[in-house]
Chain A
């Protein structure tokens, strides 16, 4: 069912403590910025890893994203949530990386140890380990641009306009890429989704 219409920026409210850290960081306080990094590192790394699919590259991208955020802190509007802003920077860097000729030459790891489900988490109810492997492979085989759009929407819950802005696309392109990514995943998952639905029915009955 459709999500309720909630604007992305109002979903996160920046606490006074966080605003204060950012204000300090803007004046060049590296200790304050380190605290900000601590608060957002998981999100930023997660976005980067899901797009580039290799820990070493994701690490580079995440570091670079924070360094760029630090350098352009003056442009950051105080009071707005910092998370989406730095995640956009990370997503943009990650896509640029996977688009780069060198990355294309090296190819992307198909199955990715870091992203593979290791224990029955939220996905465990929906999919078994085999399905998780299939999903992971399907994600790896998506064109990077599609994968980036999917990650930004499905994980970061960014609006089309925000994704378009971050990746330099039109909202229409975001819409079609997102649909194609979802469709490919849905096709790959179809057998497992049916099985999961049957299991749920059996469990309920």
Chain B
């Protein structure tokens, strides 16, 4: 058999011959024991070559993905848009938002004892508002109906300007560290808030949301309120339309927080995309400045915002983790809630990777375990992989 014919034998093995050639080889093979043996040898060569193990040193595959990632992150620029567009957007945003935000902040903080307390929160607010600069500008431009009367009340601490729901939680974290679990909003409460709620339900929710903020209230403010029931009453009043007349009655810090929280609830509702303007109007007038703004972030917008987030530090990963948590908690039945819950675990893992801290690891493992314990977990394998 010639070299060329043997080559055809090899190609026959791979089923790479034209039908006519193939038929010819088959015919020859049927009659030629020698070629049958040759074919067996060629096939054995393949099997032998494939069966030699190709093993790296122990532990290699554990670290390899991380090393690749470190390299690609070292030289990355944001995908999709050229780098300069992001820089330009950031500059434009700062130019528009900073004066507006600062003027509003001055308005809010003028008579207060510790105006600096608001600064980090405002900084964060600005950085957060980047994905929706137009909306942020509108909000900042809208005159807050209740801000002026409230500003007249002497306060120990400046209230933050709230644009997104989570800021209240962040601020609390900054003011009084507490276990991460406490940062989780009660899903049921939030759910209620998102249905087009009548004013009272809104106010109740505001009260419920306000309670975790209590550690912030200064001692004198707490005294002024007296009891929990009293606080709720004050909150209800504050949230009701006649609350306008409540100015000058010496509202407590807690009531202020409640108002801010009502605004937060409005924002959350807007972000949830389910709150009609009717619901916004039914809510506290204190929130009108925010709620009446035409900003209606849809779930899709929120998703896009979180999905496109590119944290680079442990702090940012933690924030993203909590935002995904928030997203999932607000929409616990939505199909994408499952994905959001996985993202919580993913972001948690990244936070841990970035910080190397045991607390981040604990949160990551707890979130992963909580996900895997869910009956409706749709992607357990993905989370198990994260745990490996």
**A contact residues vs B (CB 8 Å cutoff):** 1-5, 17, 24, 26-31, 33-35, 37-38, 41-42, 45-46, 49-50, 55, 58-59, 62-63, 66-67, 70, 114-118, 121-123, 126-127, 132, 135-136, 139, 150-151, 153-155, 159-160, 171, 175-176, 178-179, 181-183, 185-186, 189-190, 193
Known pairs A34-B68, A123-B48; A41 contacts B53 (CB<8 A): no
Question: Are B48 and A126 closer than 8 Å at their CB atoms?
Answer: yes
User: Which residues from chain B contact A17 at a C-beta distance below 8 Å?
Assistant: 379, 381-382
User: Which residues from chain A contact B56 at a C-beta distance below 8 Å?
Assistant: 45, 49, 55, 58-59, 114
Known pairs A41-B65, A42-B61; A115 contacts B54 (CB<8 A): yes
Question: Are B45 and A182 closer than 8 Å at their CB atoms?
Answer: yes
B contact patch SS: helix
Question: Are B66 and A34 closer than 8 Å at their CB atoms?
Answer: yes
Known pairs A3-B14, A38-B65, A135-B48; A115 contacts B53 (CB<8 A): yes
Residue of B61, B65, B310, B379 with most partner-chain A CB within 10 A: B65
User: Which residues from chain B contact A37 at a C-beta distance below 8 Å?
Assistant: 64-65, 68-69
Interface size class for chain B? Answer: 35 or more
User: Which residues from chain B contact A182 at a C-beta distance below 8 Å?
Assistant: 10, 42, 45-46
Once the chains are docked, how many angstroms separate the CA of A44 from the CA of B95? Answer: 48
User: Which residues from chain B contact A67 at a C-beta distance below 8 Å?
Assistant: 68, 71-72
Once the chains are docked, how many angstroms separate the CA of A50 from the CA of B55? Answer: 10
User: Which residues from chain B contact A185 at a C-beta distance below 8 Å?
Assistant: 45, 48-49
Does B249 sit at the interface, judged by CB under 8 A?
Answer: no
Does B322 sit at the interface, judged by CB under 8 A?
Answer: no
Once the chains are docked, how many angstroms separate the CA of A35 from the CA of B382? Answer: 9
User: Which residues from chain B contact A151 at a C-beta distance below 8 Å?
Assistant: 49
Q: Which residues of chain B (14-38) have a CB below 8 Å from chain A?
A: 14-16, 38
> Which of B74-82, B131-139, B359-367 binds A?
B74-82
Question: Are B45 and A114 closer than 8 Å at their CB atoms?
Answer: no
Does B57 sit at the interface, judged by CB under 8 A?
Answer: yes
Q: Write the chain B residue with the least CB distance to A40.
A: B65
User: Among the listed A30, A42, A63, A183, which residue makes an inter-chain contact with B76, where contact means beta carbons less than 8 Å apart?
Assistant: A30
User: Which residues from chain B contact A135 at a C-beta distance below 8 Å?
Assistant: 48-49, 52
Question: Are B45 and A62 closer than 8 Å at their CB atoms?
Answer: no
Question: Are B54 and A176 closer than 8 Å at their CB atoms?
Answer: no
Question: Are A28 and B310 closer than 8 Å at their CB atoms?
Answer: yes
Once the chains are docked, how many angstroms separate the CA of A197 from the CA of B12? Answer: 23
Question: Are A33 and B69 closer than 8 Å at their CB atoms?
Answer: yes
Does B308 sit at the interface, judged by CB under 8 A?
Answer: yes
Known pairs A17-B379, A28-B79, A160-B14; A186 contacts B44 (CB<8 A): yes
User: Which residues from chain B contact A155 at a C-beta distance below 8 Å?
Assistant: 49-50
Once the chains are docked, how many angstroms separate the CA of A152 from the CA of B342? Answer: 36
User: Which residues from chain A contact B78 at a C-beta distance below 8 Å?
Assistant: 28
Q: Which residues of chain B (140-161) have a CB below 8 Å from chain A?
A: none
Does B13 sit at the interface, judged by CB under 8 A?
Answer: yes
A-B residue pairs in contact (CB < 8 Å), sample of 26: A1-B43, A17-B379, A28-B78, A28-B80, A30-B72, A31-B350, A33-B68, A33-B69, A37-B68, A38-B65, A41-B65, A59-B56, A59-B60, A63-B64, A67-B68, A114-B57, A116-B52, A117-B51, A118-B53, A122-B51, A150-B49, A178-B14, A179-B10, A183-B42, A186-B44, A193-B44
The interface bits of chain B over 60-100 (1 if a CB of A lies within 8 angstroms of the residue's CB, else 0) are 11001111110111001011100000000000000000000
User: Among the listed B9, B44, B53, which residue makes an inter-chain contact with A117, where contact means beta carbons less than 8 Å apart?
Assistant: B53
